Amino acid sequence: MPVLSVIGTQWGDEGKGKVLDLMAARADLVVRYQGGANAGHTVVVGSEKFVFHLLPSGVLHEDKVNVLASGMVIDPAQLLREVKAFADRGIDLSDRLRLSAAAHVVFPYHKALDTASEGVKGGLRLGTTGRGIGPAYSDKAARTGIRVGDLYHEAFHERLEANVREKNRALQALYDSEPLSFEEIYSEYSEYARQLRPYVTDTYHLMMDALDAGRYVFIEGAQGILLDLDFGTYPFVTSSNASVLGIASGTGLPPKRVGEVFGVAKAYCTRVGEGPFPTEISGKAAEHLATKGHEFGTTTGRPRRCGWFDAVAARFAVQINGVDSLTLMKLDTMSGLSEVKVCTAYEIDGKRTDRFPVGFPSVADATPQFETLPGWGEEIDNVRRFQDLPDAARNYVHFLEDFLRVKIAIVSVGPARDQTIFR
Ligand code: IMP
């Protein structure tokens, strides 16, 4: 199919970066459509580890065009840092990176408001990444946002001045924070605009022209369905549609042209930040997953909460995203556990259900019902064929496949490109 999407089926951090990087060889365009520098994709090539927050994972392939589409919120300083990191390695992205003129810009007042509002929320804190994502999308919805293309328009000065004035009022009155300097922001962002100019374009027509010319477009999701603004564990979500649902609005691609959907799931669950997490565990098994899986946030360095695989949530993720096949990541992390558990139902208000509740009843009230399966002691990071996995590991994969009613086409057993089992 000419369009293929890679989507997170949990709370983000599933390993989409590696999957995209593996598949990008077949793509002509790699397109990110939502979120911003809250994301963190890690890709390991040889002995080098690359971490991106904004750049799509296709940047590691020489002949791909990488697109930051209109549904994103762009922190220009962060984007320029990532571009420079490539330039420092002798890699020039000027022909391979395209930034939508209709994407929204993240300003220092967005980050200041993000941090300040989290600071006063007490127990209602969301645990955001502090990258200004919520405030930037709020401005977009309120129609006071400034888009990338606006940076080159004479009205930029006036609109930015009005925004800084208003945000300073909020920062001072609501949060007792220091006001920001309009002049400083204006001159800083005018310089960013100059440096970003070669990349800025109309990415909608770029993508549609590429499809009309028979090219392959890979769509890269950030975060995951359980952080989706509409269908995640609201309000503990991000401010965009971090699922297939955001592709059309975030790129302009007609929904019926969204082709094959690759879901990505970790072999267990993790979550960074606050909010419901029915299968969360503590104790020895949690420590095992956190330590062996290096479960620390790529963007913030915070420890990730760990838990067993939530097959109720995953089945919902498969259904709502129309997942055609699943990639199971980090199976190697589970080696050494004497037993492994899978949540196959929730009990909420005394009732058992295998449906992930949308809105009501609350996921926060769910008690997980587990099936226990045998674990495996053998390390599997050197295994390259499915039949060479220990029986218990294969059994685990088959169990998930049967419950989720979807093919697990790829199993990842380590961060490197070759630590991958194709079935
Ligand atoms: P925000 O997107 O920074 O507003 O954060 C909202 C919630 O989404 C917080 O719980 C974050 O930890 C979480 N979040 C945002 N981006 C990511 C990501 O890329 N991976 C995992 N969690 C994320």
Q: Tens of pLDDT along 183-206?
A: 999 999 999 999 999 999 999 999
Q: Which residue's alpha carbon is nearest to atom 8 within ligand 1?
A: 238
Using the atom order of ligand 1, give the atom closest to the CA of residue 40.
Answer: 19
Using the atom order of ligand 1, give the atom closest to the CA of residue 134.
Answer: 4
CB of 327 closer than 8 Å to CB of 262:
yes
CA of 343 to the centre of ligand 1 (A): 23
CA of 403 to the centre of ligand 1 (A): 28
What is the reported pLDDT for 51?
82
Using the atom order of ligand 1, give the atom closest to the CA of residue 133.
Answer: 4
CATH classification for the domain delimited by 104-195, as one of 1.10.300.10, 3.40.50.1010, 3.40.30.10, 3.30.300.30: 1.10.300.10
Asked if residue 334 has pLDDT above 80, the reply is yes
Asked if residue 181 has pLDDT above 90, the reply is yes
CA of 8 to the centre of ligand 1 (A): 13
State how beta strands 65-68 and 217-220 pair.
unpaired
* Positions marked active-site: 13, 41
Asked if residue 43 has pLDDT above 80, the reply is no
CA of 186 to the centre of ligand 1 (A): 28
Angle between helices 311-321 and 391-404 (to 10 degrees): 50
Give the pTM: 0.96
How far, CA to CA in Å, does 364 sit from each of 232, 276, 277, 313, 340? 12, 5, 7, 13, 23
Q: Indicate the burial class of 59 (C-beta count within 10 angstroms; 0-12, 13-18, 19 or more).
A: buried
Ligand 1 pocket at CB < 6 A: 11-13, 38-40, 126-129, 131, 133-134, 222-223, 227, 236, 238-239, 272-273
Q: Which residue's alpha carbon is nearest to atom 20 within ligand 1?
A: 12
Q: Which residue's alpha carbon is nearest to atom 10 within ligand 1?
A: 273
Q: Which two tokens stand for residue 247?
A: 């592709």
List the domain boundaries for the chain: 3-101+199-261, 104-195, 265-422
Pocket test for ligand 1, best of 78, 227, 295 (most atoms within 8 A of CB): 227
What is the reported pLDDT for 159?
98
* Chain Cα centroid distance, residue 239: 12
CATH classification for the domain delimited by 3-101+199-261, as one of 3.40.228.10, 3.40.440.10, 3.40.50.1820, 3.90.245.10: 3.40.440.10
* Chain Cα centroid distance, residue 119: 24
What is the reported pLDDT for 62?
85
What is the reported pLDDT for 158?
98
d(CA 393, CA 376): 7
Convert the pLDDT of each residue in 74-123 to its tens digit: 999 999 999 999 898 888 999 999 999 999 999 999 999 999 999 999 98
Please choose, from the candidates 306, 317, 253, the residue with its C-alpha nearest in 3D space to the C-alpha of residue 283: 306
Please name the CATH architecture into which domain 265-422 falls. Answer: Alpha-Beta Complex (3.90)
Q: What is the mean pLDDT of residues 242-249?
A: 98
Pocket test for ligand 1, best of 124, 272, 296 (most atoms within 8 A of CB): 272
Q: What is the mean pLDDT of the chain?
A: 95
Using the atom order of ligand 1, give the atom closest to the CA of residue 240.
Answer: 2
CA of 227 to the centre of ligand 1 (A): 7
If phi over 0 gives left and psi between -120 and 50 gives alpha, with beta otherwise, what is residue 90?
left
Convert the pLDDT of each residue in 57-80 to its tens digit: 888 888 899 999 999 999 999 999
Give the percent of the chain with pLDDT over 70. Answer: 100
Asked if residue 1 has pLDDT above 80, the reply is no
Using the atom order of ligand 1, give the atom closest to the CA of residue 129.
Answer: 3
What is the reported pLDDT for 217?
97
Pocket test for ligand 1, best of 32, 129, 225 (most atoms within 8 A of CB): 129
CA of 278 to the centre of ligand 1 (A): 18
Convert the pLDDT of each residue in 252-281 to its tens digit: 999 999 999 999 999 999 999 999 999 999
CA dihedral 11, 15, 19, 22 (to 10 degrees): 160
What is the reported pLDDT for 152?
98
Place of tokens 């939530």: 310
Please choose, from the candidates 21, 108, 86, the residue with its C-alpha nearest in 3D space to the C-alpha of residue 57: 21
Using the atom order of ligand 1, give the atom closest to the CA of residue 38.
Answer: 16
Convert the pLDDT of each residue in 287-304 to its tens digit: 999 999 999 888 888 899
Count the helices and strands in the chain (H runs, E runs): 11, 20
Q: Indicate the burial class of 139 (C-beta count within 10 angstroms; 0-12, 13-18, 19 or more).
A: buried
Place of tokens 């395209």: 98
CB of 419 closer than 8 Å to CB of 413:
yes
d(CA 51, CA 21): 12
How far, CA to CA in Å, does 302 sit from each of 1, 40, 121? 38, 12, 19
CB of 245 closer than 8 Å to CB of 25:
no
Extract the runs of DSSP E, i.e. beta strands, from 144-292: 200-201, 217-220, 260-266, 269-271
Q: Which residue's alpha carbon is nearest to atom 15 within ligand 1?
A: 38
d(CA 358, CA 366): 12
Q: Which residue's alpha carbon is nearest to atom 16 within ligand 1?
A: 38
Q: What is the mean pLDDT of residues 345-355?
A: 96
Asked if residue 170 has pLDDT above 90, the reply is yes
d(CA 46, CA 38): 26
Asked if residue 44 has pLDDT above 90, the reply is no
Please choose, from the candidates 406, 399, 407, the residue with its C-alpha nearest in 3D space to the C-alpha of residue 370: 399
Q: What is the mean pLDDT of residues 390-419?
A: 97
CA of 385 to the centre of ligand 1 (A): 34
pLDDT category of residue 418 using cuts at 50, 70 and 90: very high
What is the reported pLDDT for 201?
98
Residues 6 or more apart in contact with residue 8 via CB below 8 angstroms: 14, 16, 221, 222, 223, 224, 225, 227, 242, 243, 263, 264
